[in-house]
Amino acid sequence: MSGSAFPPERPADGGPAMERAEFDALFERLRRDRLPAPPRSARAAAARLVRTGEVVAMGRPWDCVAGPDNRRPALHLMTELADVTPPEPTVHKDFIAADYHGKAQTHLDALCHIAYRGLLFAGVPAREVLSSRGASYGAVTDLLPGLVGRGVLLDVARLRGLDWLEPGTAIGGPELTACAERQGSPLRPGDAVLVRTGHLARRRRLGPWDPDGLSAGLHPGAMSVLDGSRASVLGGDGDSDVRPSPVPGVHSPVHVLAVTTMGLPLIDNMDLEPLAETCARLSRWEFLFVAAPLNIPGGTGSPVNPLAVF
C-alpha cells in the first residue's frame, strides 16, 4: 500500500491553464436548464448495432484492499456458509458494502453528486435538497431507466500509439473529435462516450498510484465537444478529469461541467481494457451500451457494471 513508486519520468502535457474567469464563462456557455432527452429512436438504432451478441463488462472488481487509489476499501463478507444449517438446501450468502465514490469502484455519479458555488444542476441550491437522509433532487433514481444507448469508445491511448497516457496528460476537444472520426464513429446525440487513457493497463503493469494527484483525463475545454454532440453519459477509466486541474481553485472542473453544468452523468473508474481489445479486434468502436444503477432512493450515484453488446 505505497504511494506510487512510479511517477511519470517527465511532466505530462496537462494542456493549457484555464483562468477561473475563463472557466466560469465556459460554465455559463454550456449551462443547461433541462436534461437533453435523446430521441428514443437513437436507442432503437443503438440496439440495431448488435450483431454478434458478444458482451463485454466494464466494472472493475469490488475492491476491498486499501491502497493509494482506494482509501475507503469496500467490504465483502460471507454471512452464511452452510456450516450451521442442516436443512436442505444449504445456502451461502454474503454482505457487500461500499463508500463507492472515489478512485477504485466503477460507479455512476448522479446529478446531486457535485455542486458548484453551492448549486446543483439547473441552479438548485444543494443545501435545500441534500440532507443526512439523502437527496430529494438529482438522485440516482432519476437515471434508472436512462443509460441505454449507443456507446462509443474513444481509444485515445491507441490513437496516440501508446499503451497508456502518462498520469497528468490532458486530452483536448479536437483530439476527441479526431479519435471518433479516425475510428469511423462520429459522435451523435444520446451517445455514451467512453474515453480510454489506458489507466488500468498502467496500473496492472506498474501498480496503483494516487489519481487524485495525477491522472490523465479530459481538459475542461474538451467539454464543448460533448456539449456539441449532445452526449448522454461520459465514462472513463479514470474519473474523466485531468489532474492536476488546469483551473486554479477548481479541483474537478470536468465534474463540474459535466454533472452540474450540462446534466451529464459520469461513470468513473471503468475497466476499458477488454472493451478496447474487442473494439480493435472487431474494428468497430460502437456498440449497444447499458448501465443499470441500483435503485437507491436519495442516492448520489451507484456502483455499476456497464455492459457493451456487439
Is 152 or 156 the residue whose CB approaches a copy of itself more closely? Answer: 152
Closer CB to a copy of itself, residue 43 or residue 160? 43
User: What's the closest the beta carbon of residue 113 comes to a copy of itself, in angstroms?
Assistant: 6
Extract the C-alpha cell encoding 124: 438548485
CB–CB of 127/162 below 8 Å?
no
In the complex, minimum distance from the CB of residue 82 to a copy of itself, in angstroms, rounded to a whole number = 6
Q: Which is nearer to a copy of itself, 96 or 174 (CB)?
A: 96
Nearer of residues 162 and 292 to a copy of itself, judged by Cβ: 292
Q: Which helix (H) or strand (E) holds 195?
A: strand 192-196
Shortest distance, position 147 Cβ to a copy of itself, whole Å = 9
For the CB of residue 221, give the shortest distance to a copy of itself in the complex, in Å: 17
Looking at the Cβ atoms of 156 and 261, the one nearer to a copy of itself is 261
Of 196, 202, 193, give the one whose Cα is nearest residue 171: 196
Contact between 235 and 209 (Cβ < 8 Å): no
Which of 86, 50, 236 has the alpha carbon at shortest distance from 155? Answer: 236
Let me know how long the chain is: 310
Range 3-8 contact pairs with CB under 8 angstroms and sequence separation of 24 or more = 3/68, 3/209, 3/210, 4/68, 4/206, 4/207, 4/208, 4/209, 4/210, 4/214, 5/206, 5/207, 6/206, 6/207, 6/209, 7/167, 7/209, 7/214, 8/166, 8/167, 8/168, 8/214
User: Shortest distance, CB of residue 196 to a copy of itself, whole angstroms?
Assistant: 18
Shorter beta-carbon distance to a copy of itself: residue 11 or 297: 297
Minimum CB separation of residue 103 from a copy of itself in Å reads 12
